[in-house]
Amino acid sequence: MAERKPRLEGKVAIVTGAGSRGAGIGNGKAAAVLLAREGAKVLLVDLFPARVNETLDMIVTEGGEASVFTGDVTSNEDCLKIVNTAVERYGKLDILHNNVGIDSPGGILDVEIDEWDRVMNLNLKSMVLMCRAAIPRMIANGSGSITNVSSVAALRPNNMDAYSTSKGGVIALTKTLASSYGKNNIRVNCIAPGMVYTPMVAEGMDEKTREKRWQSTPLQTEGTGWDIGWAAVFLNSDEATWITGTVLPVDGGALLTRRNF
Ligand SMILES: NC(=O)c1ccc[n+]([C@@H]2O[C@H](COP(=O)([O-])OP(=O)(O)OC[C@H]3O[C@@H](n4cnc5c(N)ncnc54)[C@H](O)[C@@H]3O)[C@@H](O)[C@H]2O)c1
C-alpha cells in the first residue's frame, strides 16, 4: 500500500488559543500539534507567551513548522496583525481554527452583565474579528477553511447561560459565513466538543465528577483535546472538501442522552 501523504501538506494555518491554561493538552494545543503533524505551517496565537511556547516546543521537537504570535483576539488590530503575520511568514492563509473561548457558570439571573459582555466578547466577537480579518485573504487565495469551536452546551444547555448563548452564536456565525462565502470556495464549519477532559475543566474538578462526566456518555470513555484536534484536521483537510456549514459534535455520544448530573 502507498505511504500516506500528510493531509495538510502545503497548507498555512492559524490556531487561536494555541496554548493551554494549565499542565496537559487543551483543545487548541492539540489542534495546533495535529495540524502541524499533518504538514501545515502553523501560526500559534495566544495571549500568554509561556503557554504558547510549550506548544511551539512540542511541534518543533516533532520536526513540524510553526511560529508564535503573542496577541489578543478580542482586539481588531491584533486580529488584522495575526492574519498579516501568517501571510508575511508563510505566503498565504488556508486555514483558520478559531479556538479561543472561556467557560462561565450561572443562569441569566445570576450572571453580572459585565461578565455576560466579557463572555460574548471572548467567545463570539473574537471569532467575528478573526473571520473578518481572514476572509479577504482567503478570497484572494481562491480558497480557505475556517473551523470555529462551539460546545455541546449550545445544543444541550447546562445552566451556563452566557456560555451557551455565546456558543450558539458561534454556530449561527458558522452557518451564515458558510452560506455567504461558499461561492468563494471558503468552507466554514463548527466543532462542538462535549465533556472532554482538558486543563480548562480540570481546574477545580474532583475525580468523582470527572468520572461521572465520561460515564454518562454512550461510549463511556473519556474524551481529550486530541479528539477535538482530529476533528479540526479532518474538517480543514481536502477530505472534507464538500462539507460546509456543519456542526460536528465530538462528544462520545453525549447529545444522544439527557443530562443526568
Ligand atoms: N474542555 C472542554 O470540556 C470544552 C468543552 C466544550 C468546548 N470547549 C471549548 O474549547 C475551547 C478552548 O479549549 P482549550 O482546551 O484550548 O482551552 P484553554 O483555556 O486551555 O486554552 C485556551 C488558550 O486561549 C488563550 N486565550 C484566552 N484568551 C485569549 C485572547 N483573548 N487572545 C488570545 N488567546 C487567548 C489562553 O491563554 C489559553 O492558552 C473553547 O472555545 C472552549 O469553549 C471546551
What rounded mean pLDDT belongs to the chain? Answer: 97
d(CA 57, CA 89): 18
Do residues 7 and 240 touch, judged by C-beta distance below 8 A? no
pLDDT at 4: 85
pLDDT tens digits for 119-156? 999 999 999 999 999 999 999 999 999 999 999 999 99
d(CA 22, CA 202): 9
Residue 97 beta carbon below 6 angstroms from any ligand 1 atom:
no
Q: Taking Cα atoms as reference points, which of 156, 149, 144 lies closest to residue 225?
A: 149
Residue 229 beta carbon below 6 angstroms from any ligand 1 atom:
no
Q: Is residue 124 part of a domain?
A: yes
Predicted confidence (pLDDT) at residue 191 exceeds the cutoff of 90? yes
pLDDT at 138: 98
Strand, coil or helix: 55? helix
Task: Look up the CATH number of the domain holding residue 175.
Answer: 3.40.50.720
Predicted confidence (pLDDT) at residue 255 exceeds the cutoff of 80? yes
Q: Is residue 100 part of a domain?
A: yes
- For residue 143, what are the contacts with CB-CB under 8 A and spacing of at least 6? 94, 184, 185, 186
Structural domain that includes position 141: 12-247
Total domains present in the chain: 1
pLDDT at 193: 98
Q: Among all chains, which residue has been given the C-alpha cell 486555514?
A: 95
Report the percent of the chain where pLDDT is more than 70: 98
Pocket probe for ligand 1: among 198, 222, 228, 255, the residue whose CB has the most ligand atoms within 8 Å is 198
Residue 151 beta carbon below 6 angstroms from any ligand 1 atom:
yes
Q: Is residue 33 part of a domain?
A: yes
Q: Which atom of ligand 1 is nearest to the CA of 29?
A: 16
Predicted confidence (pLDDT) at residue 261 exceeds the cutoff of 60? no
Cα(17) to ligand 1 centroid in Å equals: 6
DSSP per-residue letters across 119-184: HHIIIIIHHHHHHHHHHHHHHHHT-EEEEEE--GGGTS--SBHHHHHHHHHHHHHHHHHHHHHGGG
Residue 72 beta carbon below 6 angstroms from any ligand 1 atom:
yes
Q: Which residue has its alpha carbon closest to ligand 1 atom 21?
A: 20
DSSP letter assigned to residue 3: P
Q: Which residues are catalytic?
A: 163
Q: Is residue 6 part of a domain?
A: no
Q: Which pTM does this prediction carry?
A: 0.98
d(CA 6, CA 220): 31
Q: For 1-7, what is the mean pLDDT?
A: 84
Q: Is residue 183 part of a domain?
A: yes
DSSP per-residue letters across 199-234: HHHHTT--HHHHHHHHHTSTT-S---HHHHHHHHHH
Q: Is residue 123 part of a domain?
A: yes
pLDDT at 203: 86
Cα(249) to ligand 1 centroid in Å equals: 17
Q: For 230-234, what is the mean pLDDT?
A: 98
Q: Is residue 4 part of a domain?
A: no
pLDDT tens digits for 154-182? 999 999 999 999 999 999 999 999 999 99
Cα dist. 176→18, 169, 185 in Å?
A: 25, 10, 14
Q: Which cell numbers hold the place of 240?
A: 472534507
| Torsion region of 256: left, alpha or beta (phi above 0 gives left; psi -120 to 50 gives alpha) | alpha
d(CA 17, CA 72): 9
Q: Is residue 3 part of a domain?
A: no
